[in-house]
A = this chain, B = another copy of it.
Amino acid sequence: MPNPLPADSVGLVQPQTAHFSEPLPLDGGKELPHYDLVYESYGQLNAKKSNAILICHALSGDQHAAGYNSLEDKKPGWWESAIGPGKAINTDHFFVVAVNNLGGCKGSTGPSSLNPETGKHYGPDFPIVTVRDWVNSQQRFMRYLGIDVWAAVIGGSLGGMQVLQWSMDYPEQIKNAVVIAAAPKLSAQNIAFNEVARQAIISDPDFYAGRYYEHDAKPRRGVMLARMLGHITYLSDDAMRAKFGRELRSGKINYGFDVEFQVESYLRYQGRSFVDRFDANTYLLMTKALDYFDPAAEHGDSFAAALKPATAQFLVLSFTSDWRFAPSRSQEIVQALVEAGKSVSYATITANHGHDAFLMPIPDYLNILSAYLQRIADEFPT
């Protein structure tokens, strides 16, 4: 933890746990009899409870979006650049809540949790959850917090899909929907990358059909490969060129299979460090939620028809160098919103960082987000 604490950080925060004992029916036909959701919150809920913002996380995100969980933390939460006093998502004005999604591995009930009925880890018995299931669980969580309406729901990538789902399923409970670097559904290529990642994990002999916890094992190789592959799709070709080029780690070619190029070193490091902090079964679940997201499917493949119930104001953002969910995918969202007669603002931000841009402190990006949210804040007394 930096000393002194940065003045624009929310500072020390502790995750909290909300327990739910009402069974949650799931898209896949099963139900979760009871579950925990772990969350963090920043800023103060006002008396009218009108200043609450929900942050939806992406594939490998969690509830720790801002601040520091302990004095030993070397890094703050994953969206520290956007959330804090005076920042784009201004905690001087807003009560900001981030929740670890159901099926996650950072405290919310998921495959690595103990199943109270068996005393063992859920593992592969944890049901497949969808974006809609997450939104339903988040809506219960909203009631738990005593909040009737979100001033905004905000998310990037898979988080943006949750924002879209919120706007369709609970239109009266979300005033603003901020959808960043998302898509109305995955392309075949997106699904293909997910499938290779899944196969890497599932085919790892240490996966034990998802019951690796009981074998005191971890599918390290598989998760590492999945994460390495993921990182290629998060960075743009240009960003990789700028970051690594073809730089040799030792300055010369060694004619062997050890790390030679800087980009190899980076990927192996990213892969290895991910293994220690993420659960393989959760990774599988998250990729499936991505694959399944396709609200248009139930509406004759018309996304505009799916968006019909929405009443929120929309802000849609994309980044020029993002090839995982390219600007054209965000434009599909915008087009459907326009077709459905909704209110939408849209910007493509020039950025070299690829899909990762949505997590980066890019001034143009944060300025747009800040201006949009400031307008909302101006509507209620601080």
How far, in angstroms, from A196 to B232 measured CA to CA in the complex? 9
Q: Are A221 and B246 in touch, CB under 8 angstroms?
A: no
Complex contacts, A235 vs chain B, CB 8 Å: 189
> Taking the complex as formed, is A245 at the interface, i.e. its CB lies under 8 A from any CB of chain B?
yes
Q: Are A187 and B241 in touch, CB under 8 angstroms?
A: yes
Q: Are B267 and A192 in touch, CB under 8 angstroms?
A: yes
Chain A binding site: helix, strand, loop or mixed by DSSP? helix
> Taking the complex as formed, is A60 at the interface, i.e. its CB lies under 8 A from any CB of chain B?
no
> Taking the complex as formed, is A361 at the interface, i.e. its CB lies under 8 A from any CB of chain B?
no
> Taking the complex as formed, is A148 at the interface, i.e. its CB lies under 8 A from any CB of chain B?
no
Q: Are A246 and B27 in touch, CB under 8 angstroms?
A: no
- Chain copies in complex: 2
Complex contacts, A229 vs chain B, CB 8 Å: 196, 229
Q: Which of B128, B185, B189, B253 contacts A237 (CB 8 A)?
A: B189
For A128, A185, A196, A260, which residue has the most chain B Cβ atoms within 10 angstroms?
Answer: A196
Complex contacts, A245 vs chain B, CB 8 Å: 188
Q: A288 CB to closest chain B CB, in angstroms?
A: 7
How far, in angstroms, from A27 to B255 measured CA to CA in the complex? 9
Beyond A196-B225, A225-B196, A292-B253, whether A261 also contacts B202 by CB under 8 A is: no
In this complex, how many residues of chain A approach chain B with their Cβ under 8 Å: the count is: 53
Q: Are B195 and A255 in touch, CB under 8 angstroms?
A: no
Q: Which residues 219-246 of A sit at the B interface, judged by CB distance below 8 A? A: 221, 224-225, 228-229, 231-232, 235, 237, 240-241, 243-246
Which partner residue on chain B sits nearest A206 by CB separation? B205
Q: Are A203 and B187 in touch, CB under 8 angstroms?
A: no
Q: Are B192 and A264 in touch, CB under 8 angstroms?
A: yes
Q: Are A291 and B225 in touch, CB under 8 angstroms?
A: no
Q: Are A202 and B257 in touch, CB under 8 angstroms?
A: yes
Q: A163 CB to closest chain B CB, in angstroms?
A: 21
A 200-211 to B, binary, CB cutoff 8 A, 1 in contact else 0 = 101111000000
Residues of A participating in the B interface, judged by any CB pair closer than 8 Å: 27-29, 127-128, 185-189, 191-193, 195-196, 198-200, 202-205, 221, 224-225, 228-229, 231-232, 235, 237, 240-241, 243-246, 253, 255-257, 260-261, 263-264, 267-268, 271, 284, 288, 291-292, 294
